[in-house]
Amino acid sequence: MHVIATAGHVDHGKSTLVQRLTGMWPDRLAEEKRRGLTIELGYAWTEIDGRQFAFVDVPGHERFVANMLAGVGPVPAVMFVVAATEGWMPQSEEHLAAVQALGVSHILVVISKADLADPAAAIAAVRQRLPNAPVVLGTDLDAVRAQLVALASRIPAPDVDADVRLWVDRSFTIRGAGTVVTGTLAAGTLRVGDELEHAGRRYVVRGLESLTRAQTSVSAVARAAVNLRGLDHRDIGRGDTLRTPGAWLDTAEVDVSVRASEALPRNLVLHIGSAAVPVHVRPLGAAARLRLARPLPLRIGDVGLLRDPGRHLIAAGISVLDVRPPPLRRRGAARQRAEELASGRATPPVCARANELRAMGFGVNGLRVGEWVVDPDWWAGKRQETPVAVQRWSTEHDIAAGMPLETLRQELELPAVELVAELLDGIGLVVADGVVRRPGATLPPRVDEAVRTVEKWLAAEPFRAPEAEQLSELNLGPRELAAAVRAQRLTRIADGVVLGADAFDRAAEILQTLAQPFTVAEAKRALNTTRRVAVPLLEQLDKQRRTRRTADGTRTVI
């Protein structure tokens, strides 16, 4: 199928031409028929020389330019109508600016009403603006049909295997069927039973039609009507999309190349596909950053236009360069970004998930790290940075267990913490309990000296744990004691209670010599300690299943 939109000044006969070609009057609304004026998008179709042609008829009045753009946005070709009676008019100029801004290069010009006036002036005006476009008189329908076939032959074949993104132009409900949406399918294939995504939810295609005929599948380029299960027609409308799940990224900020003859206002409306979204424009040399009022599923290479609705002016044509642009917070970042975009293309991110690269429109090229794709040079640089970052942090936090994974992720500016473990492979660092450290890390000198003092005390009386005051005098607080335990220099029995590294083994050996079962008091005497140590020590031995506590409170060594 070949989908072609009309364009041209109001009352130049676009709808009449479509009706003469197809036998179908495209205006649907009662108000359109009463006023004799196209207000909304109209649809008609026919077959020419064995080819299916579907026409999207657009309004020509300046008040309905937004509707016109919604019709032209997704289509690959335009039939431009200029009346011989009036020639080139203001809306002819605006529609041409829109068509050119949208990058539509396949154009057929039809001079209408040639039976009412000499078409020479109109043809001359067209030749000035579209020197390479074929021009044909609307009074010769056979010539129009022949030129439509020739136009269709010049349009590149669409990618029928591409990810689906159907820009919706209508949404309504049919009794007994439910919600139906229509749009121009520019790429990909729709099938009954497919799941499609809208607004973060998935919906099943329960039926398809194209040109009022039921279909099991519809491939691009085509007009498609999609019947969806579970979706209220009020929750989807013009400017929304149905798309392949997981294959598209909604973005509210994009970098674009700009084709404009003058400086852009800061607030405009972006027309892309069938959507019209207010945007804030930040100039970046020959490019710009657009902040969208609502996210859209865009990809690199998408073409749209910026319009100033207050001035009824097409401000610029745009091409999407980057749908995940870097922030511009640093001084000079905007100037640097403008230089990067001056080439008219953006480089892929140095680190991204494979499915995200595909959704952004980049090829999946680079070093694979799990589900991530990274730039090899960038990855090598991060591997060099990692031990330096860990050493610097460890110097500043000398008694910590190690550098927290999340802290290291932020330091290295990695997008996800799972990349840290992959980065550490083979560089002499280990991950344990959520922290990164060198294996066999030792205590800092000041802590080492204090722990040696405690070890001397415990060598003389193994189960006489130092009192809180003694530990305080040695500057051994909770963090220092935790570091000594991690270094396997001391054993934690309870909060603030530490013994030697072999305390549990030595205690079990001594308790083995007692008559079984034994009481806490008997254990306390055998270990030559206090109840402050004996009770938590026995509880720890219970947890280790070295002792078993009975119902009467006595214990047996296992």
> Taking phi first (over 0 means left), then psi (-120 to 50 degrees means alpha), and beta for anything else, what does residue 37 get?
beta
Q: Which residues pair with 82 in a beta bridge?
A: 111
Sheet of 403-404, strands arranged across: 403-404, 435-437, 430-432
Lowest mean pLDDT among 89-103, 433-447, 470-484: 433-447
| One domain for residues 149 and 33 | yes
Last residue of a domain, one of 422, 441, 460: 441
Residue 384 resides in a domain:
yes
What's the average model confidence in pLDDT over 493-516? 92
**318 alpha-carbon distance from chain centroid:** 20
| One domain for residues 333 and 408 | no
| One domain for residues 178 and 257 | no
| One domain for residues 173 and 304 | no
Last residue of a domain, one of 347, 379, 394: 347
| One domain for residues 379 and 477 | no
CATH number at residue 231: 2.40.30.10
User: pLDDT averaged over the chain?
Assistant: 90
* Domain extent at residue 283: 250-347
Last residue of a domain, one of 310, 325, 347: 347
Question: Tens digits of per-residue pLDDT, 216-260?
Answer: 999 999 999 999 999 999 999 999 999 999 999 899 999 999 988
CB proximity list for 113: less than 8 A, separation 6 or greater: 12, 13, 83, 84, 85, 138
* pLDDT at residue 508, rounded to an integer: 93
Supply the pTM of this predicted model: 0.73
* pLDDT at residue 32, rounded to an integer: 46
Residue 159 resides in a domain:
no
Question: Tens digits of per-residue pLDDT, 181-225?
Answer: 999 999 999 999 999 999 999 999 999 999 989 999 999 999 999
Residue 66 resides in a domain:
yes
Residue 160 resides in a domain:
no
* pLDDT at residue 437, rounded to an integer: 73
Measured over all CA atoms, what is the biggest interatomic distance in the chain, rounded to whole angstroms?
124
What is the Cα–Cα distance from 302 to 273, expressed in whole angstroms? 9
